[in-house]
Structure 1
Amino acid sequence: MSAHGPDRRTVLGGAAAVAAGLALAGCGDSDDSGGEPAGRKKGEKVTLTFWSWVPGIDKPVQLWNSKNPSVQIKLEKVSAVNGAQYAKMHAAIKAGNPPDLGQIEYPVVPSFLLDNGLLDLTKYGAADVKGKFEGWQWQQSVFGKAVFAIPQASGPMGLFVRQDLFDKWGVETPQTWDEYEAAAKAIRKKGAWIETFSATNGNRFAGFAWQTGARWFGVDGETWTVTIDDEPTQRVADYWESLVKQKLIKTIPDRQNAWYKDVQTGDIAAWVGASWGDALLVGNAPKTAGKWRVAPLPQWKKGDNAAANWGGSTTSVFRGTKYPKDAMAFAVWLNTDPESIKLLIDGGYGWPSARSGWTNADMEGQRDFFGGQKYSEVFEAAGKAVDTSWQWGPAMDTLYQRLGDAFTEALSSGGSFRSVLTKVQKQTVDDLRAKGLKVETG
């Protein structure tokens, strides 16, 4: 992707950028000597380790094991709290004993390229399976000509609404962000809140920026471009800061106990979430069954169709595996086999990356909770409208932590949200420089 004009502010250049993923195609061998591992011998039985936190992942693993006695998967559940799973994976890479496979979210893939921790799958048949997956999700793990992960799921965004409360209060479901603000004012007058701004939820903030046309990272030749504080992101920051300062929304963390309580009682009447949010609401607000609906993400201009993604992950093969072909075969099977996909859907893993093997109806196991609405249609349309030119950069896990700290400070001190972006822009450059990346400012 080329640079995006005058908003470009910082360039990460030189050989370090290449090491970060621009030309890793020749660095994907599985052993330190640079040669390929011998792989599994005929008749040999092997066990591959797989670290994951995906709900219900044990069931498709059990299915694979029942069908593949020669290649058994040993599943280890890892904690996804505050990035604990990635800290463990990075530590294992540095210690020289990573698992064979791991669950890695799209934004975090580049971080593992800095460790040279993932296997380039091109020599193991990646081109042959590319067509099985949605193109933009496949591209999330492609750097140069190298492919570093198999897509599993995404999280197209939408607006979850307590339709009963909106109807009771005479509030229309907002189609634009201006209408969303108006709805927030109307709901506040009723003693409730439309939403919360969760300071520590950098993933969702990135989704808002994505929808607005931001480009936090890009690749220009052999350099990374970094613009965390570009104009679209400033627009997002200004909008949510305005809602906070007008006291139209809460500022508690979402998806934690206090938030779940507000959702159950109706103190919070809506949530900008992702496709996987249906399972969260069902599991944590059971008494609100039948009262929810899903609407498209509000637009900046009425009639526009700009969508975004929040979440989604891959099944990655680590560079240390002795059995790359078998590891990749499992990764592909896990995310394309219809039986496996059904089990993953039942577990609430997200919106499937596979182009076939499932239907919209499969995604509506919670239809009764949403008053019979065919709500998967909203997320299907959102998935098709996602801006596919968005690209993740190195050290996103650190970037999210930086955003969370800075937004939390701004909320407590009354500082501006734009100052958060300025601060995190500088911190991101400093963080990448500390990892050995060359930084040039323009």
Structure 2
Amino acid sequence: MRHMKRIGGVAALTAVALTMAACSAGGDGGGGADAAACAPSEGDVTLTFTSWIPGIEDAVAIWNEANPEIQVEVQTGPSGNAGTYQNFFNQLEAGNAPDLGQIEYDAIPNFRVQDGLEDLAACEEIVAAEDQFVDWTWGQVTLGTDSEVYGVPQDSGPMALFYRSDLFEQNGIAVPTTWAEYRDAAVKVRELGGYITNFSQSDINQFAGFVWQGGGEWFTNSGDEWTVDLTSDVSTTVADYWQDLIENDLVSVYPPWTDEWNNAYNSGEVWTWNSAVWGANSIASGAPDTAGKWSVAPSPQWEAGQAAAGNWGGSSIAVFKGTEHLYEAAKFALWLNSSEEALTSLNETAAIYPATKAGLELPVLQEGVEFYGGQKIYEVFAEAAGQVNPDFVWGPTMTQTYADVSDGFKAAISGDGTLADALADGQAKTIAALEAQSIPVAN
């Protein structure tokens, strides 16, 4: 995986931050973190931590056994946009947020604007760890600044094509290398009674990954102003492509992460999934009867011969505003996302693809994966990671943007409007949300 430069676009959030209170406990209000805020607590400490990562309890257990003076109680829940983020916002408002939480990179600006995160730059160990992380992931948690840190990077989500290699081979269908070939394959798969993939009504960050791969951007800024462009030519092309597949019954439309969705993959009804590296675990756990029948290939390209990849997800561990144990929380977050034992555990239980440079060399990532017929699938994702545009910018209201676009996608699935209509409506509502928060908009 190549080392990517910081995403400078999100630095515009700094202008927004000028209107808010200092973001670290004891902060000086001038953008610098107060080191005294990150002093060790007296006596034993128990931290609360919320995550949705499968098997996260195993990694936490390793920490708890080695650190009796700093115990971590982990609570699991649905993925961020499926409910955990809203829970976090509610808890922050009520003053009872956990000490730490799982937050994807695209949601960090949202929590930052709401003044919900501690600035970890107050902790010397965090600042000193910058060089351990792949450059672009560090840029995601610093929002392009040089003096603030709002989480410890955990992983990234380069995308590739999971596919039922046995079904493609048995039926003489070539693995598609372009999106045009993918549609042709979809027709053949449908004639055989299956679907080439499932179109998600709610994973708008997956759709954003398709736009990302195509070279599109949803947010840009010039200084202190944001431009929202969910209806760019690239976004429209992607929307029209999937609209065609939906209207022609070439893709299933099961709600994702449900028993119905799992069964579609487990039964062989659905043949592929364009997903991120962490999806390896989702298929293995949701479709156990298909072990050994899957493979991974590069994502289809819009033009033959291109080599571009999207990114879906990637998370950090953030410390919420109001914690009484910043030092201990930061210490645990750094261990969880940088130690070999923790990263190995997270990969084995959830196919987490580390954000640390050393983590990319973990022995577990160099091995063949039994569920995928012994294929060294992480080689495909390592190549994809180097093809992800590092300059894609997330806006400061992504949770709201995702929710609004998802509402439109669900309507389009039922025949009420189109995916392109949903993007246009999402853009209008995003602009309104930015303006309501006094965030400058150039549109």
Fold shared by both chains (TM-score > 0.5): yes
Find the aligned partners of 2:153 and 2:116 in 1 and give their Cα distance.
17
1:315 aligned residue: 317
Are residue 169 (structure 1) and residue 171 (structure 2) matched? yes
Shift of 1:123: 3.1
Residue 227 of structure 1 corresponds to which residue in structure 2?
229
Identify if the C-alpha distance between structure 1 residues 322 and 237 changes in structure 2 by more than 3 Å, giving closer, same or farther.
same
Q: From the superposition, tell whether residues 36 and 243 of structure 1 become closer, same or farther in structure 2 (CA, over 3 Å).
A: same
Per the alignment, residue 83 of structure 2 pairs with 84
Aligned pair in 2 of structure 1 residues 38, 164: CA closer, same or farther (>3 Å)? closer
1:130 aligned partner, one-letter code: E
Q: Which residue of 1 aligns with 2:239?
A: 237
Aligned match of 1:56: 55
State the match for 1:198 in structure 2: 200
Unaligned ranges ≥5, structure 1: 4-12
Distance 1:42 1:235 in 2: 54
In 1: Cα distance, 2:279 partner to 2:421 partner: 31
Q: State how 1:1-80 maps to structure 2 within 5 Å.
A: 18=14, 20-21=16-17, 27-31=22-26, 39-40=38-39, 44-80=43-79
How much has 1:268 moved relative to structure 2? Answer: 1.2
Cα 1:20/1:371, change in 2 over 3 Å: same
CA distance in 2, matches of 1:150, 1:110: 14
Q: Is the 8 A contact 2:344 2:362 kept in 1?
A: no
Q: Matched residue of 1:158: which SS?
A: strand
> Contact 1:106–1:140 at 8 Å: present in 2 too?
yes
CA distance in 2, matches of 1:259, 1:78: 19
Map of 1:159 onto structure 2: 161
Matches for 1:266-285 after TM superposition, within 5 Å: 266-285=268-287
CA apart distance, 1:263: 1.4
Shift of 1:95: 2.3
- The whole-number CA distance in structure 2 between the counterparts of 1:50 and 1:239 is 40
**How far apart are residue 29 of structure 1 and its match?**
2.2
The answer to whether the aligner puts 1:150 opposite 2:152 as a matched pair is yes
Q: Which runs of 4+ in 1 moved over 4 A?
A: 17-24, 31-43
Is contact 1:2-1:218 (8 Å) kept?
Answer: no
Q: Of 245, 248, 251, which residue of structure 1 is paired with 2:250?
A: 248
Q: Describe the SS at the equivalent of 1:219.
A: strand
Structure 2 CA distance, aligned partners of 1:394 and 1:41?
A: 32
- In structure 2, what is the Cα distance between the partners aligned to 1:38 and 1:196? 48
Partner of 2:3: none
- Take 2:196 and 2:426, find their aligned partners in 1: how far apart are those partners? 28
**Matches of 2:202 and 2:121, distance apart in 1:** 36
| CA-CA distance at 1:440 after TM superposition | 4.2
Structure whose residues are more often strand by fraction: 1
1:134 CA displacement: 1.2
SS of residue paired to 1:27: coil
Could you list the per-position Cα deviations for residues 112-139 of structure 1 after superposition, in whole angstroms to 9, with x for gaps in the alignment?
Answer: 1121111222232343111111111111
Q: Which residue of 1 aligns with 2:215?
A: 213
- Secondary structure class of the residue paired with 2:154: strand
- Judge conservation of contact 1:19–1:113 (CA < 8 Å) in 2: no
The within-5 A match list for 1:395-434 is 395-413=397-415, 415-434=417-436
Going from structure 1 to structure 2, the CA distance change for 1:265 and 1:58 (only over 3 Å counts) comes to: closer
Alignment of 1:182 with 2:181, yes or no, is no
- Per-residue displacement from partner, 1:301-353 (whole Å, max 9, x unpaired)? 11111111112211111232233232212111111111111111122152111
Query: Which 5+ residue runs of structure 2 have no aligned equivalent?
Result: 1-6
Tell me the equivalent position of 1:133: 133
Q: 1:93 touches 1:115 (CA, 8 Å); kept in 2?
A: no
Distance 1:421 1:55 in 2: 31
The one-letter code sitting in structure 2 at the alignment partner of 1:128 is A
Q: Matches of 1:422 and 1:38 in 2, distance apart?
A: 44
| Alpha-carbon distance change, 287 to 349 in structure 1, aligned in 2, over 3 angstroms | closer
Change (3 A) 1:42 1:207: closer
Q: 2:375 aligns with which of 373, 376, 379?
A: 373
Q: CA deviation at 1:79?
A: 3.6
Q: Alpha-carbon deviation of 1:408? A: 1.6
Distance 2:40 2:328 in 1: 11
CA contact (8 A) 1:282 1:366 kept: no
- CA deviation profile, 1:389-433 (whole Å, cap 9, x unmatched): 012112212211111110121232352322222111101111222
Judge conservation of contact 2:154–2:355 (CA < 8 Å) in 1.
yes
Structure 2 counterpart of 1:88, which letter?
A: N
State whether residues 360 and 377 of structure 1, in contact with CA within 8 Å, keep that contact through their aligned partners in structure 2.
no
Closer, same or farther in 2 for the Cα pair 1:277/1:365, shift >3 Å? farther
* Whole-Å separation in 2 of the counterparts to 1:65 and 1:249: 45
Query: Equivalent residue for 2:117?
Result: 118
Instruction: Tell me the matched-pair count.
Output: 429
Deviation at 1:299, TM superposition (A): 0.6
- The one-letter code sitting in structure 1 at the alignment partner of 2:105 is Y
Aligned twin of 1:10: none
Q: TM-score, normalised by structure 2?
A: 0.89
After TM superposition, give the deviation of residue 365 of structure 1 in Å. Answer: 7.3
Partners of 1:374 and 1:267 in 2: CA distance: 25
Q: Using the TM superposition, give the Cα deviation of residue 18 of structure 1 relative to its aligned residue in structure 2, in angstroms.
A: 4.3
Structure 1 residue 20, shift from structure 2 partner: 4.2
Q: Secondary structure, in 3 states, of the residue corresponding to 2:335?
A: helix
Q: Distance in 1 between matches of 2:19 and 2:435?
A: 19
Aligned to 1:340: 342
